[in-house]
Amino acid sequence: MKATRNMLWVLCLMLALVFTAQAQDAEVEGNLTDGCVAEYDETVDYFPAKVSVEYAESFSVEYFNNYKVVSMVPWPGAEESLEYVLVQCGTPAPEGYEDIPMFEVPVQRFVAMTTTILPPMDEQGILDRLVAVDTTLFTSNENVLEMTASGDIVEIGGGGSGGDINFELLLSTEPDLVMAQEFYAGGTTLTQLQEAGIPAVLNADYADTSPLGQAEWGKYVALFFNTEAEANVIFDGIAERYQELVALTADVEDRPTVIAASPFSGTWYMPGADSTIAQLLADAGADFLWKDEPGTSVPLDMEVVVENGADAEYWVNANQYWQTTDDMLADDSRFAEFQALENGNIWNNNLRMNANGGSDYFESGAAHPDVILADLIKIFHPDLLPEHELVYYQQLASGE
């Protein structure tokens, strides 16, 4: 009888060891996206799924067993980068980072203060972590709009809404993290959040000027939720489709001439060679007339554009508020001198724009430059993509 009990004890012990080993294996099979580590083991790599940054130039990440060190350029021309330490919850905070903001991941209660964060959150399956946004006035994401209408998400102001942050409402959401944006040195959003005792970081996806570089910021968002595996799959698909489209136009000989943008307060801010749209136009098989001008934006007098660009065959991203050529000519009668108007080749990126002026081109489009590129190829070389239906672009209607 005693021998039988001993055998049963040994069998139970063996089973326990097997189940323990399986549990430990499960811990390292994928990143923890929903919970914390129950029993910390310093030898375990808690982030087996990692991202590498190939196109984006404004952020990077270094992995350690139980934490990540993220570095990002907070705005164009920033003299110093910002760093964040992201620690797997349930594990000890690392030493030597006392002066660097530290946050536990995966984040459970999150606030987004820019619409470009929403597409990667939706696609990575983490919208349920979103408890607040700055405003939904300019939001196109249907899931976010529905969650706001049901009260699952609140609007706290600031950011894209142009108003002050309602700190009382924000604090009531008990956020683990707020992700905001600043566009120049001296911005106050981050400082205000920190002074209110609210954990906050910046996102500068707009600062990357290549189409795939901007889209790769979906990986940056993933770092805070441990959803690197999902982000990799999503981005790899985007990059693959984008490169396939680039290859489609590589040998195109007939590259139509193009201008872009329109005057604002008397100055035409033409995209420069380093802009996202310049890269998209080149990849779409077009000849952008300001492709050799350095910078992301080139301020020009109207007369200069008339002299050097009036003969362009196409005009894209003209003005999202123009619905007809009458709207355009009402702004400036000199637009009648442009060949693109005469040929009916003025194309606006406002097919998906809501009543408040929020354009999905700058929301889901920023996350999916492959779709924008397909639109542009359809416009310039419709024979190359005969089945593609435009997603973000539409032809400016005649006012007649």
What pLDDT is stored for residue 25 in this prediction?
40
For residue 391, name the pLDDT band (cuts at 50, 70, 90): very high
| Shared-domain flag, residues 126 and 84 | yes
Q: Is residue 36 part of a domain?
A: no
Question: Which of 183, 203, 238 is the last residue before a domain boundary?
Answer: 238
Mean predicted confidence (pLDDT) in 192-214: 96
Q: Is residue 345 part of a domain?
A: yes
**Cβ density class 163-198: b for 16+ within 10 Å, e for less:** eebbbeebeebebbbbbbbbeeeeeebbebbeeeeb
257: domain CATH number is 3.40.50.1980
pTM of the full structure: 0.91
Secondary structure class of 235 (helix, strand, coil): helix
Number of domains in the chain: 2
What pLDDT is stored for residue 20 in this prediction?
43
For residue 400, name the pLDDT band (cuts at 50, 70, 90): low
| Shared-domain flag, residues 74 and 210 | yes
| Shared-domain flag, residues 211 and 136 | yes
Domain span at residue 126 reads 59-238
The answer to whether residues 27 and 46 touch, using CB atoms and an 8 Å cutoff, is yes
Mean predicted confidence (pLDDT) in 286-292: 98
Mean predicted confidence (pLDDT) in 385-397: 97
Q: Is residue 213 part of a domain?
A: yes
For residue 6, name the pLDDT band (cuts at 50, 70, 90): low
Q: Is residue 143 part of a domain?
A: yes
Instruction: Examine the pLDDT at 59 and tell me if it is beyond 90.
Output: yes
| Shared-domain flag, residues 276 and 340 | yes
What pLDDT is stored for residue 55 in this prediction?
98
Mean pLDDT of the chain: 93
| Shared-domain flag, residues 290 and 189 | no
- Report the range of poorest mean pLDDT among 146-160, 211-225, 268-282: 146-160
Q: Is residue 31 part of a domain?
A: no
| Shared-domain flag, residues 157 and 264 | no
Question: Which of 211, 238, 265 is the last residue before a domain boundary?
Answer: 238
Q: Is residue 115 part of a domain?
A: yes
Q: Is residue 26 part of a domain?
A: no
What pLDDT is stored for residue 47 in this prediction?
98
Q: Is residue 13 part of a domain?
A: no
